[in-house]
């Protein structure tokens, strides 16, 4: 490990768990975070570690499955940052099985883990533990086409749910739980072999931006995303506050 990289990093000594840890971006995030001095836990559906490179191998592996998120609760108790990076892209397929699978993996599973991690943050905060963070990879598909209708719908769903959660946290002024969105453009992976960005580059940019503790972490070659996403997010949060004000009167 490069000592200079980790000494000045806010990630030094933190325990970070990553879903989709066997994917292209997951491996790249593991490598960058380990260089920054973090202890990384890989959450994977695979029974085997497909990565033989020690640099992108987590310090610990945990097996899990969508639909069994509650079983991760005890494993997440001592985690400081949870990165939700797993996903399923049915591409052109729009039959019921693919739709149900995409909703479960891209939306419901993410939401369940966010709720579990928030509850852990609220309970551990009473014991004066440090705040917990969850990062959600909603991707550019949340607001733009991805040439996969079902993928776009499910990413939009979790994206809007996260916006509601962020609005609630802002109104309640909680300081024990933070949420961040990863808005990523197309990068090469099993989900998107035609991606134009390299996952290593995307991972470095994510961690670089996260050092500044931004809510929206955008990495995209499309300049429109940098303009549109903050605008959409602001409108959603303002809308949530407006609705709350109406019903509270």
Catalytic residues: 151
Q: In what order do the strands lie in the sheet with 60-63?
A: 60-63, 39-44, 15-19, 81-84, 132-137, 177-184, 216-219
Rounded to 10 deg, the angle between the 109-125 and 149-172 helix axes is 20
> Cβ contacts of residue 110 below 8 Å, gap of 6+?
84, 136, 158
Three-state SS string over 21-72 comes to CCCHHHHHHHHHHHHCCCEEEEEECCCCCCCCCHHHCCCEEEECCCCCHHHH
C-alpha pair distances (Å), 199 with each of 26, 34, 124, 189, 195: 9, 16, 34, 8, 9
Please, are residues 136 and 179 in contact by the beta-carbon 8 Å criterion? yes
Across 116-249, where does the E strand assignment appear?
Answer: 132-137, 177-184, 216-219
Per this entry, what is the length of the chain? 249
């Amino acid at each position: 490990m490069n000592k200079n990289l980790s000494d000045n990093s806010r990630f030094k000594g933190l325990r970070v768990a990553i879903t989709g840890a066997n994917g292209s971006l997951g491996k790249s995030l593991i490598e960058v975070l380990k260089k920054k001095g973090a202890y990384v836990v890989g959450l994977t559906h695979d029974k085997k570690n497909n990565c033989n490179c020690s640099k992108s191998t987590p310090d610990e592996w945990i097996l899990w499955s969508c639909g069994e998120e509650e079983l991760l609760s005890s494993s997440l108790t001592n985690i400081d940052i949870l990165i939700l990076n797993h996903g399923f892209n049915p591409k052109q397929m729009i039959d019921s099985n693919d739709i149900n699978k995409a909703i479960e993996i891209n939306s419901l599973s993410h939401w369940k883990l966010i709720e579990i991690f928030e509850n852990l943050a609220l309970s551990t905060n009473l014991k004066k533990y440090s705040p917990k963070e969850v990062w959600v990879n909603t991707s550019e598909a949340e607001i733009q086409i991805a040439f996969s209708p079902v993928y776009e719908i499910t990413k939009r769903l979790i994206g809007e749910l996260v916006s509601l959660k962020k609005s609630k946290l802002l109104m309640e002024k909680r300081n024990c739980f933070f949420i961040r969105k990863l808005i990523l453009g197309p990068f090469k992976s099993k989900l998107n072999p035609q991606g134009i960005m390299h996952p290593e580059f995307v991972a470095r940019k994510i961690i670089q931006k996260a050092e500044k503790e931004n809510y929206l972490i955008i990495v995209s070659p499309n300049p429109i995303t940098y303009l549109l996403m903050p605008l959409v997010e602001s409108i959603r949060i303002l809308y949530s506050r407006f609705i709350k004000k109406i019903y509270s009167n």
